[in-house]
Structure 1
Amino acid sequence: MLWPALFFDRKKQTHKGDYGHVLIVAGSRSYTGAALLCSGAAMRSGAGYVTLAFPESLQGVIACGVREVVTLPLRSTAQQSVSERALPQLVPVLKKSDCLLVGCGMSRHPSTQALIRSLVRRASTPVVVDADGLNAMAGHLGILRGLKHPVVLTPHPGEMERLCGRRIVAAPAARKEVAKDFSLRYNVTLILKGPRSVVCSSRGRLYENTTGNPGLATAGSGDVLSGIVAAFLGQGMEPFEAACRAVYIHGLAADLAAKEKTQPGMIASDVIDYLPKAFKRCR
């Protein structure tokens, strides 16, 4: 453990605005679940207010799966992904948000990828980039160097290889070296996912996670993690602290879920369901 107490009780005199407004831009025709998972995880991780922005053509599907979040249907491409024409819809909300999460299930459509890069540039608050957001940044990493706001990237090994343009050796020491080199070069906080996920700060500080199990090797578990990271950033945590706490609590929730569901029987939404028990363990 990095901290004597991972989470604390809320003050009695408080309101939802004290716990951050997270803007999530996610989803496409084939990946509506990604939008639901990351937004649900953000709410379960203490975010006071979540706006979920998604392709307008998917409004019926998303509305049936989300109760607590505010929805923002966006202009879509013909392939039902978010179009770069949606930028004017997003800018006013982006200015009011405390954190932006972008990329989960958004597709590799050229217009969508261009929108992702525009959002990363325009943000003034912390940004979490996951999944297709990482694909959008591959080949455009120079964008990251000039940013004044914190950025957290959450690649799995395959996404990391696309970002780096080379093969990543699975050995723990090699993973740490790659994470540190990338974080320092591009001034980002990096979560390199996998068994014992590695977190590296923009100044080279390293953390190797100790929670989690092979049950996390299932579709959507990364979306859940990115939602947790975004919630913590929105509540004012520093990027490295938010990333470390997120991978720890994500893994702990998975460990608790596996005890009842078994590792093969786990799905990503189980991790969300067990987040309250994981938080309770860390008080």
Structure 2
Amino acid sequence: MRDSKIESQIRRLWHPRPKRADKKDFGRVFILAGSRGYTGAAALTSFAALRAGAGLVTLGCPEKIYSILARRHPEVMVRPFPSTPEGSFSEKGFPEIMKFLKTQDILAFGPGLGRNAATGRLVRRLTSKFPLPVVIDADGINLFKGKTEEFKKRRGETILTPHPGEFVRVFGGKKPRTGRERKERACQTAREFGVFLVLKGHRTVVASPSGKTAVNPTGNPGMATGGTGDVLTGVIAALLGQGMRPFEAARFGVYLHGLAGDLAAREKGEVSLVAGDLVEFLPQALRLVLK
């Protein structure tokens, strides 16, 4: 369901692109994603970031899957990094990744990452050292199980985008069932750990460390399919890269993501909806909101 008040707020924040604009003006987004068997998640996240307006998107992937991802989207730059024998990110890539991060504005990681212990050590080190905003999704969140205190130590802002299963797995407690429980748990967790929390699901909840919350009105059951969360990660990272603050990037990213899903469902039906349809309909969603 569209919301004219939210769309008006998005328009106020989304400035027209100047005629002399440079691609670097719209954010250099670095995405760490993918592992053997999960290349699709990496491709969806990186292309969604471009569709949501990021100026430059670089996808970092384990070297064992580089040849697959290098030919998925020509607009996405792909860089291989050291891989474990199983095809996940190796901790050996830390120095090389940190060096590259010095040229970037935003880091996003998690989609298709896998739960290899070496990968966990790598992303936790990166999270602690990178001083700018980080978006963490999927296995990126799972790799912080038992290590959530590390979120409190970050110098930069952190956006977490768990579905209810990931949320309970990492932060404990019972799975919140009602809308009220979801909002209370999201707000409590955001405050305690100093993160911006996007608790996905029907009426996704966005909560900030300061206590601000928002409940998203867009989206439909057809979006309950693999890969849609990967698309959201790319969208939020792109909005951060274009200058939005974390709460606004999360809130409006969720709104646009859901609207793209609603537009796709209207044309293709909820039953047949796939994650790539959301990327396809993002331009239409943006046109509707920004016109």
Please tell me the TM-score bracket, short chain as reference. over 0.9
Q: Contact between 2:198 and 2:207, CA under 8 Å: does it hold in 1?
A: yes
Judge conservation of contact 2:110–2:139 (CA < 8 Å) in 1.
yes
What do the CA deviations read for 1:23-66 (whole angstroms, capped 9, x no partner)? 10000001100100000000000000011000111111101212
Percent identity between the aligned chains?
Answer: 44
Structure 1 residue 248: Cα displacement? 0.1
Please report how far the alpha carbon of residue 163 of structure 1 lies from its aligned counterpart in structure 2 after TM superposition: 1.7
Q: Aligned residue for 1:280?
A: 287
Deviates more, 1:259-268 or 1:164-173: 164-173
Q: Which residue of 1 aligns with 2:236?
A: 229
Describe how 1:203-222 pairs up with structure 2 within 5 A: 203-222=210-229
RMSD: 0.9
1:119-138 matches, cutoff 5 A: 119-138=126-145
What secondary structure sits across from 2:237 in the alignment? helix
Structure 2 counterpart of 1:199, from 206, 210, 215:
206
**Other-structure match for 2:68:** 61
Aligned partner of 2:6 in structure 1 is 2
Aligned 8 A contact 1:50 1:69 in 2: yes
Q: What is the distance in 2 between the residues matched to 1:132 and 1:177? A: 24
Aligned 8 A contact 1:220 1:268 in 2: yes
**Alignment check: 8 A CA contact 2:164 2:176 kept:** no
Q: CA deviation at 1:8?
A: 4.1
State the secondary structure of the residue aligned to 1:2.
Answer: helix
How many residues get paired?
A: 283
Whole-Å separation in 1 of the counterparts to 2:161 and 2:41: 15
Q: Distance in 2 between matches of 1:198 and 1:39?
A: 24
Q: Which moved more, 1:80-89 or 1:176-185?
A: 80-89
Say if 2:128 and 2:150, in contact at 8 Å, map to a contact too: yes
**TM-score normalised to structure 2 length:** 0.95
1:85 corresponds in structure 2 to: 92
CA–CA separation in structure 2 for the residues paired with 1:97 and 1:205 = 28
8 Å Cα contact 2:236-2:250 kept in structure 1: yes
- What are structure 2's unaligned runs of at least 5 residues? none
Partner of 1:11: 18
Which consecutive residues of structure 1, in runs of 5 or more, have no partner in the other structure?
A: none
- The SS at the match of 1:274 is helix
